[in-house]
Chain A
Amino acid sequence: MSDVVIHTEEHPHHPFLQHHFEDMQQQHEASTLGMWAFLTTEVLFFGGIFLGYTVYRLAYPDAWAAGAHFQNLTYGTLNTIVLLASSLTMALAVHAAQTGKRMKTFWLLAATLVLGSVFLGVKAVEYSLHFEEGLFPGSHFHYHGPLAPQIQLFMTFYFGMTGLHALHMVIGAGLLIWMMVRAWKGHFGEEYYSPVEIMGLYWHFVDLVWIFLFPLLYLIDRHK
């Protein structure tokens, strides 16, 4: 190939260029590709549990319809809006980091963190309501109506899927705090913003998982 790059030492290294990369562009491309590869793994990770959901939805359609009725549509809708809004602030934060606006980056990341925390808070309220209603699977499951074992299976998937999603949110919140610290210190600019960008990729992915979870767990067959 013709992309022979002769490495020269004419200009000083960027402080965040790691020693094993030739230049900032190579480093940026490596980190974004790495995140995309990681998200591919994540798709397969969630894919397994979505497959399980689908198999039992086909096997027990009535229990799955009943399960959707146990979900609080208001909380679910609210959380969907909150999470979509957080994706917007995240995207704006990436843009702000790219254009070197330090405080704007910081505050947009903070807004994303707040919205993410609201989501988790609402989710915690939902979980505690399910627990009080005796819908948590296992020895705390006290629903004795028709289709009880199958509805317990639905709730197992509900908690498994939303739990995994919430775990990803918590990890994302931790990463956001780290990014806020780095933004505050003024690490990002036109030359170097890949951490914020790949943080954004991750955040949008987690958001996207919820976009699938919401209809599958709350909406489908609600009319039945």
Chain B
Amino acid sequence: MTTAVIDSPILDLPKRRNYINAEYGFFSWLLTKDHKRIGILYMLAVTLLFLIGGFFAMMMRIELLTPEGDLLTSDTYNKFFTLHGIVMIFFFLIPAVPAVLGNFILPLMLGAKDLAFPRINLLSWYIYMIGAVLGLIIIITGGVDTGWTFYTPFSTQYSNTHVFTTTFAAFITGFSSILTGLNFIVTVHRMRAPGLTWFRLPLFVWALYATSIVMLLATPVLAVTLFLLMIERVLHVGIFDPNLGGDPLLYQHLFWFYSHPAVYIMILPAMGVASEVVAAFTRKKIFGYKFVAFSSLAIALLGFLVWAHHMFVAGISIYSAMIFSFLSYFVAVPSAIKVFNWTATLYKGSVSWQTPMLYILGFIGLFTIGGVTGLFLASLGLDVHVTDTYFVVAHFHYVMVGGVVMAYLAGIHYWWPKITGRMYPEWWARLAALLVFVGFNLTFLPQFVLGYLGMPRRYHAYAPEFQILNVMSSAGASVLAVGYALPLIYLVWSLWYGRPAGVNPWGAVGLEWTTASPPPQENFHETPVVTWDAYDYPSMLKAMGDTQNV
């Protein structure tokens, strides 16, 4: 197998035209149809929303330094954990990897000029922004206190906060996710470069494809569920209210039919990033390519069959609970396949310890802990003991923060040279990765213990014997905050002072590394023709005589 050199932008002049300097002015960004610029728009929005969600998290951790509810009233605390959840899930975790990194990288990986529907891509960003602005208005005008799950009948009959507007914002934002998924599916089917067969696709593409299926099939169910919730709230009819003949369990079934697959919307693309980074920084073909590819699809499909494990104590039949318990164990299999394959790829690889790899090594460990504690929760007996305790909180933060956010940061660092044309400062980045890892574990490891000991979630006050572990957790949150603040500073710094990156700073294979950094507006000067497999590091190293960092 040979590696074709597609074009040689290295020879171009420094003032080369790229997607950033192709057009100037405010409206050239706000009305752009370029997937790369839309990716940047998403990056800015998602970062802002992450800071807002993080603010609520910090306020909660400060409140929980002491057992008494002394900083926030219980009502305010209810609003803060609700807003933290809504902002982080709907406005950060769901769009972060697909809409920022996927948007930017997917067409480059496919050798395409753009996504299949550039205007729909821009539309999805505007829909997201409408939802986000509504969210900000809600925050400023008094918030919402239902928890991010909007459980009925509290949300429809009793809560006096902005439930209608918030559910409407989530409803709207869902459509941006649907449109992104639709765009990705069509793009992967129809926009691949000549010769780029399905089994030559990078695993990030497979992961995004699987994610898009979930976005397309699960999100509309949330939309219609929230639609019914809004009807009930406005008309005071009893769709989900038992006093009026409704069934609150139906709400939970419908809600989790979306919201469990939604965690795969978050984690699947993160796993895709892990596959890219592991291969690039071990200089090896990914071990068991097809297993990793199909495990993404398996997770997407099995993920639809496990939702009721969120309802083991809600009063569902014990027989259905047993089936959902079994299926929840089963969905761990494809996830475990991925973890084993990444690990096997590391074996005898020439591992280098650059920042993206540090994040991904952290990701693999933390995701494994998050996944295995998920199995604790999938077992019926143990789940009864730890339901609604900090054990659950720790479990999903290991997956969502230790998994998704770590992989997002890995991806941002890995593709930053491609996106901006500049290198970030490696030393600071490694320091930040270390702080994030240490801070994260200090924050959430104690929460497993707290939950196991019986500390319930969602209260602003707690029994005094839990204080030491809570102080550890809050201290960890401060370290984590510093770890997140650092990239924000040095990445912006690198835009002006970073070393120019060149076409392929990592010596990685993949079409995105064959075009200039930052890429030209049309991505490739000529449509590339692909004759090699994904992660073909052995042949590349042989063919190029190990000429890295050209």
Contact = CB atoms under 8 A, between A and B. Distances in A.
Contacts of B244: 149, 152-153
A45 B118 contact: no
Interface stretch (B223-231, B267-275, B448-456, B503-511): B223-231
Contacts of A164: 224, 227
A48 to B, nearest CB: 4
B499 interface: no
Interface string A121-156: 000000000000000011100000000011011001
A19 interface: yes
Contacts of B254: 48, 51-52
Contacts of B183: 34
By CB atoms of chain A within 10 A, which of B194, B234, B237, B244 has the most? B237
B197 interface: yes
Contacts of B112: 20
A160 B234 CA distance: 13
B220 A45 contact: yes
A52 B250 contact: yes
Contact of A40 (B190, B216, B223): B216
Interface string B215-249: 01111110111011001001111110000111100
Contacts of A22: 527
B394 interface: no
B246 A153 contact: yes
A47 interface: yes
B376 to A, nearest CB: 31
Contacts of B223: 45, 48
Contacts of B182: 34, 37-38, 41
A73 interface: no
B178 interface: yes
B237 A152 contact: yes
Interface in A16-32: 18-20, 22, 26, 29-30
A30 B197 contact: no
Given A37-B185, A41-B216, A1 B197 contact: yes
A178 interface: no
Contacts of A150: 245
A52 B229 CA distance: 12
Contacts of B234: 138
Interface in A46-63: 46-49, 51-52, 55-56, 59-60
A156 B531 CA distance: 58
Nearest to B189: A33
Interface stretch (A3-11, A89-97, A99-107, A168-176): A3-11
A20 B527 CA distance: 11
A42 interface: yes
A22 B117 CA distance: 14
Nearest to B212: A37
B231 A30 contact: no
B529 interface: yes
A1 B112 CA distance: 17
Contact of B527 (A1, A7, A45, A60): A7
B194 A34 contact: no
Given A4-B194, A48-B224, A156 B235 contact: yes
B113 interface: yes
B116 interface: yes
A52 B113 contact: no
B254 to A, nearest CB: 6
B195 A153 contact: no
Contact of A34 (B113, B186, B246, B522): B186
Contacts of B302: none
A48 B225 contact: yes
A29 B527 CA distance: 19
Contacts of B228: 48-49, 52, 160
A153 to B, nearest CB: 6
B191 interface: yes
B276 interface: no
A18 to B, nearest CB: 8
Contact of B231 (A19, A44, A156): A156
A139 B234 CA distance: 10
Contacts of A56: 245, 247
Interface in B92-148: 112-118, 120
Contacts of A160: 227-228, 231
A34 B116 contact: yes
Contacts of B239: 52, 153, 156
Interface string A73-94: 0000000000000000000000
Nearest first, the 3 closest Cβ-Cβ pairs linking A and B are: A138-B235, A48-B224, A45-B220
Interface of A: 1, 3-7, 18-20, 22, 26, 29-30, 33-34, 37-38, 40-42, 44-49, 51-52, 55-56, 59-60, 137-139, 149-150, 152-153, 156, 160, 164
6 contacts: A1-B197, A41-B217, A44-B216, A139-B236, A150-B245, A152-B238
Given A47-B220, A164-B224, 12 more contacts: A20-B115, A29-B190, A30-B190, A33-B190, A34-B182, A40-B217, A45-B223, A52-B228, A149-B238, A149-B244, A152-B244, A153-B238
